[in-house]
Structure 1
């Protein structure tokens, strides 16, 4: 299904929910209420109706909530930034395997409190409230019944993801750029790519352009406008237009405008460039794995 054939009402409902989140944060003057991956989850669940995400609605609430709480706790430990990210990724893989889930946005909700240094209880309350709402709407609309899906856990893929991600963390840390260790939307898409049976080079390029473009949209919008709510209102339709032109559906792309408005200044300034480098590394690695390494492993 292509983006333009999706219902306008689904887009209005989804974008309205995201704007409500940003508006609430603006009124309460609490930036920790803004959760970029809620934009991705909303798009994937309410608009694109991703079968793999709709599977077992209860996990929409408690799995991202658990990872967010774990990330919040890890952030309070006296560890370096790179070690925190590495520890979180390891725990995330273990949790997904234990709960037999492929809900990729759970990575982002776990990473976010470390990336933005969340310290307020409002962060936990927000993640609980917004994910609960997402789950209830899915259940009430019976979206999980309309798009049945049986999740299968590929432990080899989990290991490949962890190795490639930890190698990235190590390299950027050695280069003195630990803040580049984790770009949540990129890791979410990378995890999903590894689950697919094949990954053409053309799709890799499209996804690189889409995510780098979405990051640039968020960066430029927030550089020009001193209003988080206005940036969200303008940037979300622009991201939709970009994905429409590229003819791709990437829920994680919608997280970038919100990520841009909450990142620390140093990370914000380099967001488009870091996204380009990260997508080149991760999607390039995914392409090599899918095209050359996986066939050899399967043939054994």
Structure 2
């Protein structure tokens, strides 16, 4: 199955799109072009289609694009970096709720330019271009895919408030302790979606945690082995991540974003990064599973009583 998927047109198209982003950053000498979540989005649309992503292709382009411009614009405010990130997180989540957006990568699109302190719109323009291509691919995939029937359940506001507070506290902890390795935007996108999903149990944690943690470890290893080569680091890390997803039999699109993170920020290229991914992902996934168990317990009791 792995070899067949590797040879498939959908995987190769997603792979080529990521390579184009890597090449563009070298040719234009603009590291700001790199948005790790583009890799996750491309794979999550073409290689491992996520049903609720491709159900509304327009959101794949419009939501992260507007979030990227918004996040960059916040850098012009006279606020501390932490206050900008908190403000960006809250406002983006509010707008996602108002416009009923279920696309988790919208959050890292807003937070990454603030975290990196970007003051030009290269990142936002790059996001606009590549997410437009991903949206176009999503329309093609949607026309061929058999999507679940019935209305899509939108998240509850209580769940959204709780997970936003949790993410905000984690970001605050990372800032106070200067542990930037705890800030993992692709993982934030995953957790935001998992926290609202209808079904997420403890048994789903180990495999996903393993994929993300091993991806981070191997990603940093490749980053040091192929130091100075953005293109080859990206090419190898994407391939490694794909193989890991196949071995653990869990497609985790955001893992592809994690694999590219060492390329854009020093802390994410350090050996502390895999530990940060392990801790951040492990804690947040356990919180998701525990909250799901607590929230669903009353419903289960009602069924038993009947």
TM norm structure 2: 0.89
Q: Distance in 1 between matches of 2:267 and 2:52?
A: 35
Task: Say if 1:185 and 1:44 are closer, same or farther in 2 by CA, change over 3 A.
Answer: same
The answer on whether the counterparts of 2:223 and 2:269 sit within 8 Å (CA) in structure 1 is no
Matched position secondary structure for 2:154:
coil
How far residue 145 of structure 1 moved from its aligned partner, in angstroms, is: 6.2
Q: Distance in 1 between matches of 2:188 and 2:3?
A: 26
Task: Say if 1:147 and 1:77 are closer, same or farther in 2 by CA, change over 3 A.
Answer: farther
Q: Distance in 2 between matches of 1:138 and 1:205?
A: 29
The match for 1:165 is 167
How far residue 218 of structure 1 moved from its aligned partner, in angstroms, is: 1.7
Task: Say if 1:142 and 1:46 are closer, same or farther in 2 by CA, change over 3 A.
Answer: closer
> Which ranges of structure 2 fall in alignment gaps of 5 or more residues?
none
The correspondence of residues 35-54 of structure 1 with structure 2, limited to 5 A, is 35-54=35-54
Q: Distance in 2 between matches of 1:68 and 1:244?
A: 31
The yes-or-no answer on 1:103 pairing with 2:112 is no
The answer on whether the counterparts of 1:45 and 1:53 sit within 8 Å (CA) in structure 2 is yes
How far residue 197 of structure 1 moved from its aligned partner, in angstroms, is: 2.4
**Any idea what the Cα deviations from partners look like across 1:168-206, whole Å, max 9, x if unmatched?**
2233344x2262563111111111211222322221111
Could you say what the CA RMSD is over the residues aligned between the two structures, in angstroms?
Answer: 2.2
Q: Distance in 2 between matches of 1:119 and 1:145?
A: 41
Q: Distance in 2 between matches of 1:40 and 1:151?
A: 22
The match for 1:68 is 68
**Any idea what the Cα deviations from partners look like across 1:141-192, whole Å, max 9, x if unmatched?**
2525624354322222212211221222233344x22625631111111112
Q: Distance in 1 between matches of 2:76 and 2:275?
A: 29
The match for 1:114 is 114
The answer on whether the counterparts of 1:21 and 1:33 sit within 8 Å (CA) in structure 2 is yes
Equivalences, count: 296
The match for 1:211 is 212
The answer on whether the counterparts of 2:55 and 2:142 sit within 8 Å (CA) in structure 1 is no
Q: Distance in 1 between matches of 2:289 and 2:141?
A: 35
The answer on whether the counterparts of 1:49 and 1:143 sit within 8 Å (CA) in structure 2 is no
The yes-or-no answer on 1:143 pairing with 2:145 is no
The yes-or-no answer on 1:188 pairing with 2:189 is yes
The match for 2:17 is 17
Moved over 6 A (4+): 2-5, 297-300
TM norm structure 1: 0.91
Q: Distance in 2 between matches of 1:24 and 1:170?
A: 33
How far residue 60 of structure 1 moved from its aligned partner, in angstroms, is: 1.4
Q: Distance in 2 between matches of 1:18 and 1:234?
A: 12
Q: Distance in 2 between matches of 1:97 and 1:207?
A: 26
The correspondence of residues 84-99 of structure 1 with structure 2, limited to 5 A, is 84-99=84-99
Q: Distance in 1 between matches of 2:125 and 2:194?
A: 31
Matched position secondary structure for 2:180:
helix
Task: Say if 1:86 and 1:181 are closer, same or farther in 2 by CA, change over 3 A.
Answer: farther
Q: Distance in 1 between matches of 2:72 and 2:121?
A: 9
How far residue 286 of structure 1 moved from its aligned partner, in angstroms, is: 0.8
Q: Distance in 1 between matches of 2:117 and 2:135?
A: 27
The answer on whether the counterparts of 2:181 and 2:267 sit within 8 Å (CA) in structure 1 is no
Q: Distance in 2 between matches of 1:3 and 1:162?
A: 36
How far residue 233 of structure 1 moved from its aligned partner, in angstroms, is: 1.2
How far residue 80 of structure 1 moved from its aligned partner, in angstroms, is: 2.4
> Which ranges of structure 1 fall in alignment gaps of 5 or more residues?
none
The match for 1:257 is 259
